[in-house]
Amino acid sequence: MSETICPICSGKNTSIFYEGLSDFTFKTTDKKFDLFCCTNCDAKFQHPFIPESEVGKYYPASTYQPFQLNSNLISPKLKYSPQSIYIRKLMTEHKPEDVFSLIDVGCGGGTFLMTVKKYFPNAELMGIDVSETAVQNLKSVNIDCVCSSLYDFNINKKFDYVVSSQVLEHLNQPYAFIKKIKELASNKSQIMIDVPASDSYSAKKYGRNWVHWDLPRHSILYSAKTLSYLLQEFETINLQHGGTVVAVLSSYKISKQQDIFAQRFFEKMVLKVITPLAKLFNLNFLFSDKLIWIGRIK
Ligand SMILES: [Zn+2]
């Protein structure tokens, strides 16, 4: 029992989960960070939180891949990838010429929005991100984008789709996020949210070396139980695990103190071989590092 309150369920039955984790992915600091867990809702959370005004210094701005413009669009063929699942969902619900509105909250470099635009040229798209680099990149390809924190963002419009991919885990104020998401959605809107899955095979196998702890950039890590708790006021249409086998390989490299961004020829080959083999034999646990939630306002 500690006096550390869970940021998801406000429970007091919390304890330290991993002490002294380092920034093993981007190595922006030598500081150590503590991860706590909640017995009630299974949340894993950084304690104390880094104030959101200070967290920017832990992002390697020029190399942080999610902010960069990426000309490789998302393939709808990737069976387990969250954003591929969203694209396929749009394809089953719309013809290419259809008009619908979609906002991507925390759109980063805009790969998802650019992919939607390719398949649905008439869609009314909007992105929002705190990164000026990301916003300028999207504007350069004529996609409407606003540089703002979601907390400060106000627009008098409801979107048919509200998407937020790999954002929630960065936030200290998950309930403020949820409130804003509700403002952007109508009763008919569909909401699609994905986060790293703390109940994935890779998290269990690699423990404190799991790549997605990603402290101090990640504030709260979610299992299916935690995410269901946070989103209980919504109707859940689908909640599933997905992702790629990269999390397994990256976590393995961290456990061996190797640079996770050094893609050696051998590793590329391993990935090329493992992925189809894992699919062939239905080794779904290897593709479980993300939680993908689709729902709507009740
Ligand atoms: Zn809790």
Q: Could you read off the pLDDT of 63-94 as tens digits, one per residue?
A: 566 666 666 789 898 888 999 999 999 999 99
Distance 14 CA to ligand 1 centre (A): 8
Distance 5 CA to ligand 1 centre (A): 8
Q: What CATH number should be reported for the domain whose range is 14-297?
A: 3.40.50.150
Confidence (pTM): 0.93
Sorting pLDDT into bands at 50, 70 and 90, what band is 133? Answer: confident
Distance 36 CA to ligand 1 centre (A): 10
Distance 37 CA to ligand 1 centre (A): 8
Distance 204 CA to ligand 1 centre (A): 19
* Residue range 241-279, pLDDT digits in tens: 999 888 888 899 899 888 877 777 777 777 788 888 888
Distance 284 CA to ligand 1 centre (A): 28
Q: Which long-range contacts (CB under 8 A, 24 or more apart) does 119-123 make?
A: 119/76, 119/87, 119/90, 119/91, 120/90, 120/94, 120/96, 121/96, 121/97, 122/97, 122/98, 123/98, 123/99
